[in-house]
Amino acid sequence: MFEARIHVTLKKSVLDPQGDTVRSALASLGFQGVNDCRIGKFMVVRLNEREMVKARAQVDEMCRKLLANPVIEDYVFQITEVSE
């Protein structure tokens, strides 16, 4: 079994008002060195699959078709083998 840990974030060219608001909150807490803050989504998907290559291809397809919107979002994921 494989576990995919997927991060979906807004593209750099897309304004992220949530991230900006959190950055100003951090600044008001005294964290003055925070240049940028972006908010995204984190998903964990477990697959009943025996081969890493197939698991990777499936997760990539999931991201392209549903989990991320290519117009506004980027995605990255890591896959590890896990016990049942």
- Give me the residues that bind other proteins (CB under 8 A), please: 10, 13-15, 17-18, 21, 66-67, 69, 71-72
Which is closer to other proteins, CB of 21 or CB of 78?
Answer: 21
CB of 13 to other proteins, least distance (A): 7
Instruction: Please identify, using beta-carbon distances, which residue of 17 and 30 lies nearer to other proteins.
Output: 17
The CA distance from 80 to 10, in Å, is 25
Whose Cβ is closer to other proteins: residue 1's or residue 72's? 72
